[in-house]
Each structure stands twice: as C-alpha cells, then as structure tokens.
Structure 1
Amino acid sequence: MDTVILSDWLVARLDRGDAEPVYRQLLRLLQQAILTSQLPPGTKLPSSRTLATDLGIARNTVLHVYDQLTAEGYVHSTTGSGTYVADTRPDRRAVNARKPAAPDHPREDAALPVDARVAPTFAEAVTHAPPVMVAAHPLRHTEARDLSARGRRLIREAGVSAKQWGAFMPGVPDVSEFPARTWSRLQAKLWKQANPELLTYAPGGGYRPLRRALSDYLRVARSVNCTPDQIIITTGIHQSIDLAVRLLTDVGDRAWVEEPCYWGVRSVLQSSGLTLAPIPVDDEGLNPREPDLRTPPRLALVTPSHQYPLGMVMSLARRRTLLEYARQHRVWIIEDDYDSEFRYGSRPLASLQGLDDAGSVIYVGSLGKMLFPGLRIGYMIAPEDLVDTFRTGIAELYREGQLMQQAVLTEFIMDGYLTSHVRRMRALYGERRQILIDAITARFGDTLPVMGDEAGLHFVLGLPLHANDRAVAAAAYDAGVIVRPLAGYYSGEMPSRRGMLLGYACVPNEKIGPAFDTLARVIENTVLRVSPHAA
C-alpha cells in the first residue's frame, strides 16, 4: 500500500482551523476508512514517524491516535513489523443465519461468493469516495426505527400534549401557588444534616417516615385501611399501575377499563400486552354488561370517587357489587383515587379500598395534583399478602431513589403544611370553577351542559352529538387555548358523548373570562355557527 496515497487523502481532509482537535479528526478519519473497507483488513499503516512528517503534525499525536485505534480494536501492532488494520468485518455466517426474503431487484454481485466481493484498494476508494465519508450501507430510516405493534399503537394513540400549562389544560394544578419558600427551608435543613442514608437507593418500598405519615393522612382523609408497611412509594400513578400489571398479569390477560377512561393508564395497560375490555359508565359509575360478567378479567381499573374524565361517583351498591364479584372470581381491582381531595360543596368521599375485606383492591394515588406535578412522588397500598412481592418488584425493576425528596415531603406533611395547602387550594380552585361556569352560562345559557363539576381540576363542557370535538380542540389550540376532546378518552371510533375537558385550576381568575371568550368563538364557528346567546 502506497503510504503517499493515504497521507494525501488525510491531508485533504484535515482542517487545521476547525474547533475539533487534529487528534480527534485524524482518529475519526482513520476509523471511518477502516469501517468502510477503504483501508481493508491487513493493510499496513505508515509508521508514526512517516505519517507525522507527511501530515506536518507532532509524532506524539500520531502515536496517541494509533494507541487509541489499538485499544478500540481497529488495528493491531506487531513488534518490529508495524501496525496493521484488524479484520473487524461482521461474521457472515452469523449475519445470514436467518436469510431475509430476496429483494425484487438483487444486486449485480449478489450471486458471487462472499470472498469474491473484494473490497476496493485504498487508491480506488480514494478516487471514487465522496469528500465526506459515510457508512457504506446505512440503514433506511424506517428500518433503523422499526417499532413493535404495541409501540406503534402507543405512539399513534398517545394523548400527551406539547403544552402542559395554560387555559384550559385539564389536570394541572396552579404550581405558582405552591409554598416554595417553606419547601426550600425544609429541604435546606435536611441537606445540612447530610444524612448518607438519604442519598442512596430507597429500600423497603420507600422512606418509612413518609409511609407512616401517608398512612395517618389517608386514614383520616380517605378512610383507607392500611399500615405503613402496606404503602409502596412510587413515582406516580403510571409507575404504580405498571408495577401491579407486571407482577399480577401476563400478556394477553383481560383487563376491564372504564369507557371513557384516562388515556395514560390505557396506554400503560396496552403496552404491557393486556387485552382491554372497555366497560361503559353511567351515572352510578362502572356498569358491566352480562357478556362482560361472563368473562371475568384478571384486573379492573376504576376511578370510583371521581370518574375520569366524566366525574360521576360510583354508587355504594355498585362498589359492593364490584368487590363481591372480585372476591368470587379472583379479580384484582386497581383503584385510582384521582383528584379526590378537591371536592366542592361536600367532604371527600371514602375510598373503595376502605370497604374491601378480601384484599382485592390495590389503591394508587399521587401527590402531584396536591403539590406540583414535577415532584413525581406517588404511592400504592398493597394488600398485606403482596407487600413483600411489591417491595421486591419495585426495587428490582426501577431501583428507586429520591429519598431526600421523600424526607422533605415527610416534614411538609408532619408540620401540617400539606393539609393547609390542600384546604387553601380547594377554596381557590372552587372559586375558579365557578367563574368558568358563570362564563359558560352567560355565553350559552343551558345550550351546552357542564358535566362532572363537583370535584377535581376540570369538568366537561358538553357539545352536540354532531360536533367534532377533536376539530374544536385543534382550532382552539391554534387560537391559543388548550382543551382536550372527550373523544380522545374513548376506545371506540364512535364515542357516545361529545365534549371538551376544561381545566380551570392553573388559570388565574382574571384570565378565565378572556380565555373562554376565545374558546366560545371557536365553538360558535366550528359547532354552532352562530351563538345562541349573543354576547
């Protein structure tokens, strides 16, 4: 091999004025030349002294590059003989062990033996190579990013929004009202103590003082029956459900979900390979039909205290029926206690778990809505015979941490700040809820109904059955208002209701009216054409 050709080729490509050091450029160019067989296996490289002279760089630079190439397996050196390109070509027998279907237009050299497809000499490669070297056979974009069937479905049906703040984003609390100074003070106190146990992994299901504080709080606020040992600290509802699904179900198992239901938990269940059975809800909550009852599911996911997204409460009769059905047919119930703390005009309702005497209910909750979503601390309450299983599972799958955050939260709860903050935010959200309802009534009268406004951080503004709520949401987004179409929470193509989810919690009082005026104009233009109550 003529070393002059290699040296000339490198000189033409080294950029002395580039921010990338010459060492890095030389290493990259030689690596690419070897990977694309422009420097075929067995090629002897110039001596470090010769190459340094040809390139006009320090010999130590070339030595450093050769050492790195040797360490990464691109070349090998023989004392007294020189440095040679290593044979790093893929093992054809392994690659072709499972031959793909023959292409419609085979390459001209496809019939040649592998050994007959000789790599070009370096001189030939230099003659025909483009100025910028690229991989010889790059994968097509779609090939490099092929998704599984469940991956395609997850991405296709994803409900996550690019915007997470503003009128009228549902499910988002007003984080600007969070007592950040109090939190910062508690956090600073704990960091000063520098307890090493708070900086490692979270064993045993989470920080025990936090589990004890949550146990006390939930017994009073939600009528939950549990001990601190039954509480497993997670990063939120999604992880809690994912853990339960991984440990209690197999691919293909049947799961009941409310119809409609929160798209996020539906995605968790579907991506785990479960077969979802949408069960309609009515004014009393989950209402399984006779065919549903004949095929018991492995688990049922419900939001009994505040159905998401419609807002109804599961009646006591339905709760007792579901619990008895679960006991008889060995069905696991996951109770998602969504937004239960924010109820207007009455006390928060008791949990389904508090009625369970058979150990069928796995209760999951989050502190994100009460405090701030970025906290990423949630919890699950496991039946006593599953506690050790869930502790082992969460440690094995997720290697939990955030003990410092959990310790801060413990202080926040024990000092009474959580209770006072929730009480204050319940009053503020109730006020904003009423402002928005008054704006709707003033604009549309009783033409468009408000549904599920008794609790939570959102309600549903009903639209006529002929309305395309997805189109309304898209037009509102273009106008600067965020709403979610009710159709997105149904699994079928023909939802039984049309409407928009309007979140009011994160919208300042003075901005609710102007923002709704914008939304109202969109509704009038896309659904009603003319306002029934002209402003």
Structure 2
Amino acid sequence: MTTAPARLQQALLEAPLDKDSGATPMQRQLHHRIKEAILDGRLAPGSRLPGSRALAEALSISRNTVTAAYDLLAAEGYVAPDRQGTRVATLSRPAPPHRHLQRGASPAPAVALRLNRIPASPPRTDASATLRPGVPALSHFPLAAWRRAVDRAIRRSGPSALGYGDPLGEPALRASIARHLGIARGVRCEAEQVIITEGAQEALALCVRLLTNPGDTAWVEDPGYRGAKAAMHAGDLHIAPLRIDGDGVIATEDDWKSPPRLVYTTPSHQYPAGAVLTVARRLELIAQARRHGAWIIEDDYDSEFRHAGEPIGAMQGLVAQAPVLYVGTFSKTMFPSLRLGFLVLPAALLAEMQTPLEEMLRGGHRYEQLALSEFIESGQFSRHLGRMRRLYRDRQQALREAIARHLQVPHMIEGGHCGLHLTVRLPASYPDRKIAAAARRYGISPYPLSGFALQPRPEDNGLVLGYGNTSAELFEPLMRRLSQLARAAQIS
C-alpha cells in the first residue's frame, strides 16, 4: 500500500516544479500543489506528509522552501504539525454535484430573484464607437485645466485628503453645486441638502433605499431610462410604466387611484424621446404627489445642453417645499469616468436621513471632489459648458441634415432641443434591434428604442443616435450605412 508521503512525492515528481528564473516562486508552487492534493482528496485527513528534508531532496530544492510552504499550509489550517511530523487536517467536503449536472458543470448560483427582473442592456461598446448615446465629446474636454485643478487640490490638501472624508461629500463641493444649481437650474437648496454620490446611478439607488420598502410601487416613464428601472428592481419594487407623449409623462386620475411611493421622471429632457414636461403637468404631478404621500425623483438628464434659448428650470424649484428629490451627474458635463453625481434632498427629509446616510456612505474621491469645486468656482466649468453647447448644437444640426439626405426609410425625428442624442422613430417593419445589431458589426452603436420600454408597443421602434462623441464629418457616411442596414432588415 502506498503511504501518504510516497503518494505526495509521486504526485509532485509527475509534474516537476518549474525552476525557471521567471516562474512563480518555488515556495508558492509547492504550497499550491500540496493544497490541491489535500482539497481533491489525494491526501486523506490524518495522512502524514514527508519530512521537509526528505521532500527537499526528492525535489532537488532547498529545505527552507519546503519548511516555508509547510508553515503557510499550517497557518491556513490545511495541515497540523505534531510530534510525529506534519499531518493533513480534517476538512469539510463540499457535497457532490447533482447527478443531472454534466461532468464539470457547476450548479446555478442561488442569486436573488429580483436580479432576474433586470433585463440585459444592448451589448456594451467602446466609448469611441460612433453614434453611441450618452457619451460626451471626450476629445474636447480641457484636460490641461482639469490637471491643474487636481494638482492644486493635492498641493493644498496634502496627505490629509487620503483619509476618509465627510460621508455626504466634501463641504466645498456641496456648496459649489448648491450655488451652481441655484443660478443655472433654479433649484432651491442649501449646501447641506446636497449629497455627493458615485454618479447618478448611486443617487437613484439611494432614493430607493431611503424611501421605499420591498413591494412598494414606483412609476417610471416608458420608454425610459434603464438605470432607473434597474435601481427599482434591485429594491424589490413593483414597477408601473407610464406612457409619454410630446408633453412628457402622462399620469391620469385613474393612475392616482393606486398611488405610487416613487415617481421617476426626466422632465427637462425626457430620455430617450426628448419631450419637455409642461408646466401644467409638473404642477399637477407635484400636487398629486403631495396629496398621496408620494415622492418624485427628478433626474435632470443632460439638461445643461439646451440648444434653443435658456435651459429650462428644474421642477424641484417650481414651488416651495416640493416633494422632489433632485438627481444630477457630471458624467455628461465633465466626463463619465469621474464618477461624481449628486442628490438634493428635500429639507423635510434631511434631519431624518442624516444618520442613515452617514452610516451607509463613505467619503471618497476627495481630491477629485476638491478639484471639481475649484473647477466650478474658477469659472472653468461654465466656460466648458458654453463651448460644449455650441459644439453639440452644431453636431445635432449636422446629424439632422445627414438623416434628411441619406436615411432613405420612413422615419420621424424626436428630441431636438437638448442633450447629446436624437431619437429616430421607424415603422415596425424595420426592427430596431436587428438594425442595431447589424450596425455594431461596423463599429456603429445606436441603441434600439424598444430596449428602453418595459412594455414595448409597435410605436416604440427606432434608433437612439448619440452625436456627443462623434465628429460631424462622419454623419453622412454613417447615415448611408444605417440606411442600407435598415433596408436590409426590413420585414416584407
């Protein structure tokens, strides 16, 4: 009968240790081999391992290497030294896989059921893909000015900003955002009402965690922003879609007979259709929310980039003490990888949420927050926004002209007064998902409009075309290609 030391030496000698100078250190190789032999049962519990000298001689390696590997295995609990040597410890064994599983297959992980309700997004593409929605003009960002702002933040703060900061965000940035929102968006808030988040998505998730319980109802625009639906699915909410028209989201008296806990809306520039929620509907939504104890999430999606006239004021500032949580992000106005957004809490909620927020959040991105505050206060942010408004206005006009000249299928353009994208509705006979999938093979990344709807209707068919990060001179060849792909996808 073969002893445990002999079995181990045999197993190690069958596949020699790699002694090349660039290989994994010998001690780590030996540790891994012995650990695997224990875990897969080749070395049974209680088996005695070879002595360090004997194993070192058999493998032609240093005894110190063997001793170090044994010591690490003992520290991890795989082996236990005793007076007679080193023995394999007794470990619990995972249950064998069910008989119906194929050899080598793993059982499905027991994930939360709510995850199955989150649909997959269109396949992700690189930010440089043409016509991809939601990406700003990255090559036009003033990197030199931003680098100087970051350098100043590091010099002024020194190593102290390497530690945890205020969990609700750097006070300087919160004050800068409050001042900017008051002037540019008509938001009514004090600095302490501004909570810094890791982008708009964390702000939406916070709204769900702070204001709802599993099973509560949330209304969302349909078609609408997928990230909002994902945050609500993750909170185990019941999601009720509300249709939109040219005046924004529609909430009727019948809808309010079963009132929601949350209402998600993008009133200044509906995403993706581009409608502006009228003042009459804004006031009615606020009044009904107050009457029924609901809270409105106002996602101020890319409303800084309005191409005709002044930016439309935020719904949050329309009336005093509105039941509105205002969400914003710097992903479009600055750049996506900055990962800084904000949530403006109603004053009535601030006292109740202060302690939970301080426990739930941790300060981070401190140099970036301080740099962004200085970027805003120095006027660089406003100047950058002005340059980008002009650029996006010109790009949108060029895209409209290219569509008119080269998209030779029936279509209707929506969403032309703001933002970084246009929505082109198509007849149902031109399936948008099929066209978008074909376009990706050419490095073109429009999003199918039907993918934004919880309950797609035939009219929810079209392409969402991003022009923020695509040069205007590319629009004509891109539209010619899309026109060809649309005709090829047509259902007769």
- Pairwise same-fold verdict (TM > 0.5): yes
Partner secondary structure for residue 205 of structure 1: coil
Indicate how the Cα distance of structure 1 residues 68 and 445 shifts in structure 2: closer, same or farther if over 3 A, else same. closer
Indicate how the Cα distance of structure 1 residues 465 and 52 shifts in structure 2: closer, same or farther if over 3 A, else same. closer
Contact 2:4 2:48 in 1 (8 A): no
Identity over the aligned pairs, expressed in percent?
Answer: 37
Partner secondary structure for residue 87 of structure 2: strand
Indicate how the Cα distance of structure 1 residues 338 and 161 shifts in structure 2: closer, same or farther if over 3 A, else same. same
Partner secondary structure for residue 292 of structure 1: helix
Indicate how the Cα distance of structure 1 residues 5 and 152 shifts in structure 2: closer, same or farther if over 3 A, else same. same
Indicate how the Cα distance of structure 1 residues 236 and 411 shifts in structure 2: closer, same or farther if over 3 A, else same. same
Choose from 23, 28, 40 the match for 1:36. 40
Partner secondary structure for residue 419 of structure 2: coil
2:338 maps to 375
Partner secondary structure for residue 210 of structure 2: helix
Contact 1:252 1:274 in 2 (8 A): yes
Q: Where do 1:12-51 residues align within 5 Å?
A: 12-17=14-19, 19-51=23-55
- Deviation, 1:389, is 4.6
1:140 maps to 105
Q: 1:299-334 CA deviation, whole Å, 9 max, x = no partner?
A: 100011111111111111111111011101100100
1:270 pairs with 2:233: yes
Contact 2:221 2:242 in 1 (8 A): yes
Report the number of matched residues.
488
Q: 1:43-91 CA deviation, whole Å, 9 max, x = no partner?
A: 2222222322333332222222221221111221223x2222221234x
Partner secondary structure for residue 386 of structure 1: helix
1:201 maps to 164
Structure 2, gaps ≥5 residues long: none
Contact 1:159 1:264 in 2 (8 A): no
Indicate how the Cα distance of structure 1 residues 302 and 11 shifts in structure 2: closer, same or farther if over 3 A, else same. same
Q: 1:187-244 CA deviation, whole Å, 9 max, x = no partner?
A: 1122223434422223151111111111111111111111111111111111001011
Choose from 62, 67, 70 the match for 1:58. 62
Indicate how the Cα distance of structure 1 residues 6 and 460 shifts in structure 2: closer, same or farther if over 3 A, else same. closer
Contact 1:255 1:297 in 2 (8 A): yes
Contact 1:170 1:484 in 2 (8 A): yes
- Report the Cα distance in structure 2 between the residues aligned to 1:408 and 1:104, rounded to whole angstroms: 57
Amino acid corresponding to residue 209 of structure 1 in structure 2? A
Q: Where do 1:103-122 residues align within 5 Å?
A: none
Partner secondary structure for residue 429 of structure 2: coil
2:79 maps to 75
- Report the Cα distance in structure 2 between the residues aligned to 1:508 and 1:245, rounded to whole angstroms: 38
Partner secondary structure for residue 309 of structure 1: coil
Partner secondary structure for residue 188 of structure 1: helix
Q: Is 420-429 or 157-166 further displaced after alignment?
A: 157-166
- Deviation, 1:248, is 0.8
Contact 2:122 2:447 in 1 (8 A): no
Q: Where do 1:196-345 residues align within 5 Å?
A: 196-203=159-166, 205-345=168-308
Q: Where do 1:130-209 residues align within 5 Å?
A: 140-143=105-108, 145-154=109-118, 156-159=119-122, 161-203=124-166, 205-209=168-172
Amino acid corresponding to residue 420 of structure 1 in structure 2? R
Amino acid corresponding to residue 21 of structure 1 in structure 2? P
Indicate how the Cα distance of structure 1 residues 5 and 141 shifts in structure 2: closer, same or farther if over 3 A, else same. closer
Indicate how the Cα distance of structure 1 residues 265 and 495 shifts in structure 2: closer, same or farther if over 3 A, else same. farther
Q: 1:266-318 CA deviation, whole Å, 9 max, x = no partner?
A: 11111221110001111221112444211000110001111111111111111
Contact 1:382 1:390 in 2 (8 A): no
- Deviation, 1:441, is 1.7
Partner secondary structure for residue 29 of structure 1: helix
Q: Is 288-297 or 482-491 further displaced after alignment?
A: 288-297
Partner secondary structure for residue 41 of structure 2: coil
Q: 1:147-194 CA deviation, whole Å, 9 max, x = no partner?
A: 33322332x433462332332111211011111111111211222234
Partner secondary structure for residue 333 of structure 1: strand
Q: Where do 1:387-466 residues align within 5 Å?
A: 387-444=350-407, 447-466=410-429
Contact 2:167 2:363 in 1 (8 A): no
Contact 1:319 1:352 in 2 (8 A): yes
1:89 maps to 92
Amino acid corresponding to residue 49 of structure 1 in structure 2? R
- Report the Cα distance in structure 2 between the residues aligned to 1:8 and 1:445, rounded to whole angstroms: 72
Indicate how the Cα distance of structure 1 residues 29 and 298 shifts in structure 2: closer, same or farther if over 3 A, else same. same
TM-score, normalised relative to structure 2 = 0.93
Contact 1:232 1:391 in 2 (8 A): no
Amino acid corresponding to residue 47 of structure 1 in structure 2? G
Q: 1:484-515 CA deviation, whole Å, 9 max, x = no partner?
A: 11101111143433211111121112222222
TM-score, normalised relative to structure 1 = 0.85
Partner secondary structure for residue 466 of structure 1: coil
Partner secondary structure for residue 141 of structure 1: coil
1:11 maps to 13
Contact 1:14 1:25 in 2 (8 A): no
Q: 1:76-116 CA deviation, whole Å, 9 max, x = no partner?
A: 1223x2222221234x9xx79xxx9x9679xxxxxxxxxxx
Indicate how the Cα distance of structure 1 residues 401 and 390 shifts in structure 2: closer, same or farther if over 3 A, else same. farther
Contact 1:255 1:300 in 2 (8 A): yes
Partner secondary structure for residue 266 of structure 1: helix
- Deviation, 1:432, is 0.7
Partner secondary structure for residue 242 of structure 1: helix
Partner secondary structure for residue 195 of structure 1: helix
- Report the Cα distance in structure 2 between the residues aligned to 1:449 and 1:190, rounded to whole angstroms: 48
Q: Is 188-197 or 267-276 further displaced after alignment?
A: 188-197
Partner secondary structure for residue 368 of structure 1: coil
- Report the Cα distance in structure 2 between the residues aligned to 1:390 and 1:139, rounded to whole angstroms: 49
Partner secondary structure for residue 203 of structure 2: helix
Structure 1, gaps ≥5 residues long: 106-136, 530-535
Q: 1:339-366 CA deviation, whole Å, 9 max, x = no partner?
A: 1111112111111101243441000001
Amino acid corresponding to residue 378 of structure 2 in structure 1? D
Indicate how the Cα distance of structure 1 residues 459 and 28 shifts in structure 2: closer, same or farther if over 3 A, else same. same
Amino acid corresponding to residue 88 of structure 2 in structure 1? V
1:478 pairs with 2:441: yes
Q: Is 382-391 or 27-36 further displaced after alignment?
A: 382-391
Partner secondary structure for residue 190 of structure 1: helix
- Report the Cα distance in structure 1 between the residues aligned to 2:216 and 2:123, rounded to whole angstroms: 26
- Report the Cα distance in structure 1 between the residues aligned to 2:312 and 2:43, rounded to whole angstroms: 74
